Amino acid sequence: MKAIGMFLLASLVALLLRSTVLAALAARGVVIDVLVLATVTWSLRQRDAWGATFGFVLGLAADLDASHWLGRHALALTLLGYGVGRLSNTLVRDSPLTQLVLIALATALHQIWVTAFDATAGVQQLPWFAGRVLLATVTTAPIGVLLLLLTRLLRRRGGYGNASGTSAAG
Amino acid sequence: MASILPPAERRSVVLVTAYAGLSLILLVVGERIPAAGLRGAGAALFAPFDRVAGAADRLFNSWQENERLHERVARLEADNARLRLMAAENPRLRELLGLTAWRGLPLKPVEILALGGGEPLPDAATLSAGRNDGVEVGDAVMTSDGLVGRITECWPTLSRATLLTDANQAIACEVETTGVNGILRFVPAPRPRLILSAVAIADTVRVGERVVTSDLSLRFPRGIPVGVVTRVDHDATGLMQEIEITPAARLARLRHAFIAPGPRPPADGVPRPKLEYEPDPLSGARPTAARDTLSGRTR
- pLDDT tens per residue across span A89-138: 887 777 888 889 999 999 999 998 988 887 665 666 777 788 888 989 99
Residue among B19, B120, B168 whose CB faces A78 most closely = B19
Partners of residue A85 in chain B, C-beta under 8 Å:
12
Cα separation, A22 vs B50, whole angstroms: 13
Partners of residue A21 in chain B, C-beta under 8 Å:
53, 57
Partners of residue B43 in chain A, C-beta under 8 Å:
none
CB contact under 8 A, B22 and A74: yes
Q: Report chain A's mean pLDDT, rounded to a whole number.
A: 83
Check if the beta carbon of residue A103 is closer than 8 Å to that of residue A36. yes
CB contact under 8 A, B26 and A71: yes
Confidence of residue B298 (pLDDT cuts 50, 70, 90): very low
Span of B2-16, B174-188, B239-253 with lowest mean pLDDT:
B2-16
**B296 touching A (Cβ < 8 Å):** no
Cα separation, B52 vs B29, whole angstroms: 35
Q: Report chain B's mean pLDDT, rounded to a whole number.
A: 80
Span of A64-73, B41-50, B54-63, B233-242 with lowest mean pLDDT:
B54-63
- What pLDDT shows up at residue A119? 66
Angle between helices B36-97 and A34-65 (to 10 degrees): 70
* Residue A161 counted as domain residue: no
ipTM of the complex, rounded to two decimals: 0.83
pLDDT > 70? residue A160: no
pLDDT > 90? residue B20: yes
- Burial of A3 (C-beta count, 10 Å sphere; 0-12/13-18/19+): exposed
* Residue A164 counted as domain residue: no
- What pLDDT shows up at residue A157? 57
* Residue A31 counted as domain residue: yes
Residue-wise DSSP of A121-138: SSGGGHHHHHHHHHHHHH
Mutation to test the B interface, candidates A67, A72, A82, most B Cβ within 10 Å: A67
H helical segments located in A66-125: 72-87, 96-118
The pLDDT tens digits of the residues spanning B117-174 come to: 766 778 888 999 999 988 989 899 998 888 999 999 999 989 999 998 888 888 999 9
Mean pLDDT, residues B244-267:
80
Interface of B with A in 169-188 (CB under 8 A): 187-188
* Residue A138 counted as domain residue: yes
Residue among A27, A65, A72 whose CB faces B252 most closely = A27
* Full-model pTM: 0.70
Check if the beta carbon of residue A114 is closer than 8 Å to that of residue A33. no
Span of A14-23, B150-159, B202-211, B268-277 with lowest mean pLDDT:
B268-277
- What pLDDT shows up at residue A161? 55
CB contact under 8 A, B15 and A59: no
- What pLDDT shows up at residue A148? 86
Measured in angstroms, the CA of A160 and the nearest CA of chain B are apart by 20
**B73 touching A (Cβ < 8 Å):** no
**B27 touching A (Cβ < 8 Å):** yes
* Residue A91 counted as domain residue: yes
Mean pLDDT, residues A42-63:
90
Domain coverage including residue A22:
2-155
More confident: B70 or B30: B70
More confident: B63 or B154: B154
* Residue A168 counted as domain residue: no
- What pLDDT shows up at residue A163? 52
* Residue A170 counted as domain residue: no
* Residue A167 counted as domain residue: no
Measured in angstroms, the CA of B13 and the nearest CA of chain A are apart by 8
Angle between helices A72-87 and B7-29 (to 10 degrees): 160
Other C-beta atoms within 10 Å of A4: how many?
A: 8
Confidence of residue A19 (pLDDT cuts 50, 70, 90): confident
Interface of B with A in 142-161 (CB under 8 A): 152
Mean pLDDT, residues A61-68:
82
**B122 touching A (Cβ < 8 Å):** yes
pLDDT > 90? residue A38: yes
Domain count, chain A: 1
pLDDT > 70? residue B81: yes
CB contact under 8 A, B27 and A75: yes
- What pLDDT shows up at residue B285? 40
